[in-house]
Amino acid sequence: MPNLPVTDLLAKYDPLIAEHAGLLSTGIRDPFGIVMDKVLSPTEAIIKGQHTILLGTYNYMGMTFDPDVIASGQAAIRDFGAGTTGSRVLNGTYQTHKECEDALKDFYGMSHAMVFSTGYQANLGMVSTLAGKGDFIILDADSHASIYDGCKMSNADIVRFRHNDAADLEKRLKRLPAEAGKLVVLEGVYSMLGDVAPLPELVAIAKAHGCMVLVDEAHGMGFFGEHGRGVYEEQGVADDVDFVVGTFSKSVGTVGGFCVSNHPKFEILRLVCRPYTFTASLPPAVVASAATSIRKLMTAHAKRDRLWEATRRLHGGLKSRGFKLATDTPESAIVSVLMPDQETTALMWSTLINLGVYVNMSRPPATPAGVFLLRCSICALHSNEQIDIVLGKFEQAAQMVNLALHEPA
């Protein structure tokens, strides 16, 4: 019998293929196809032979090239090998993983820490495992994809509230059965607009309705709060947060994800959380680097101050040049420039990269509907000179692409 004709499963992506091709046919560089030939430092790389200032790496504390962090990684790859070839619950937990979890417990002052292979998996695993059938997950509309995917993977009912809107959260919680298990998922810093959550209001409402609270501090770890734990620490709600999720791929400067908690039954999650159990653990070099970095971040006060200083310089400089920014004041180390439409965003991005400045281009569905952004994230190691160069390039690029700037207020 002859084979049936194959239905191309990738045909559903034809509209996106056409859109992407259309974008590139205008002669711009591919915003999603950047290759760094050499990385010179946390703030500089060579891209297509050109010296480029990196302003979109989330490398907030500049730990990627820290000599102590690198030395720890080198020692671990030498002593423990290149990888574990195993799950955390089988052969994939080494002394290095234990030390990394100890560093997290010390950093957060919590009794339990669980390290996942990526930040995405940490949210995916925690959200999907905490809430099961008959439970409710209540999430902010602007939540990261990993949180949405965790919801999808759980068997819980999913309720979404308007971004950072305490009254909307309360309205939706009132519709839920009082006795049901409820998990409210929040983020300290929202990574697209760089805005910070009003956690005291949101957490108080969640607690009033009998919910457990998980806060993702991916973009807050390292420089918010007295110990650098995140927005939840700075805003004084630590006692009411049940789970803190975070990542090593931002301030910590390597890769990996984690959850910390004081919940007495926390350790059982290692056996039931599938994105933790059914994947290989991080290589020893990665967790050893992370442990050293986390311990250094505990006391990195000078770097935190410098990060905020550089952030204010960029935010203020862009604002005074008439760029429209997503937040009126610098709320986090993310400064997002609001753009009018996809074409102008792509053209401006492409012009900036040609001028030697790398930022992120963001568009729906990563951003809220209708929002196009050029997103900058600042590093504590950006010098004032680098920030000033960037400001000049932004102004030059805006002129080249005829981007209308506003009269500063």
The region of 20-28, 155-163, 276-284, 292-300 touching another protein under the rule CB under 8 A is 155-163
Please give the Cα distance from 194 to 338 (Å, whole number): 12
| 158 contributes a contact to another protein by CB under 8 A | yes
Per-residue b or e along 190-219, where b marks 16 or more CB atoms closer than 10 Å to that residue's CB: bbbbbbbbebebbbebbbebebbbbbbbbb
Q: Which is nearer to another protein, 1 or 369 (CB)?
A: 369
Q: Least distance to another protein from the beta carbon of 369, Å?
A: 4
Please tell me whether residue 20 binds another protein under the rule CB under 8 A.
Answer: no
In Å, how far are 23, 379, 392, 404 from 388, measured between CA atoms? 30, 14, 6, 21
Residues in a beta bridge with 137: 158, 183
For residue 167, the tally of other CB atoms under 10 A from its CB is: 11
Size of the site for another protein (CB under 8 A): 18
Nearer to another protein, 45 or 183 (CB): 183
The amino acid that residue 121 corresponds to is Q
Toward another protein, which CB reaches closer, 114 or 156? Answer: 156
Kindly give the residue spans of alpha helices, DSSP state H, lying in 28-118: 67-80, 95-108
Alpha-carbon gap, residue 400 to 102, rounded angstroms: 52
Question: What is the closest distance, in whole angstroms, from the C-beta atom of residue 262 to another protein in the complex?
Answer: 30
C-beta closer to another protein: residue 340 or 408: 340
- Of 47, 77, 156, 192, which one interacts with another protein (CB under 8 A)? 156
Residues 167-226 binding another protein (CB under 8 A) are 171-172, 175-176
Tokens representing 136 are 């409710």
State which residue, 12 or 265, has the beta carbon closest to another protein.
Answer: 12
How far apart are alpha carbons 324 and 111 in whole angstroms?
44
Q: Tell which positions 343-402 bind another protein, by CB under 8 A.
A: 364-365, 368-369
- Residue 158 C-beta: closest distance to another protein, Å: 4
Number of helices and strands (H, E) in the chain? 14, 14
Where in 100-139 is the site for another protein (CB under 8 A)? 136
In the window 22-81, what residues touch another protein (CB under 8 A)?
none
Interacting residue with another protein among 36, 70, 141, 405 (CB under 8 A): 141
CA angle 297, 61, 285 (to 5 degrees): 70
CB 136, min distance to another protein, A: 8
Q: Which residues of the shown chain bind another protein in the complex (CB under 8 A)? A: 136, 141, 151-152, 156-160, 162, 171-172, 175-176, 364-365, 368-369
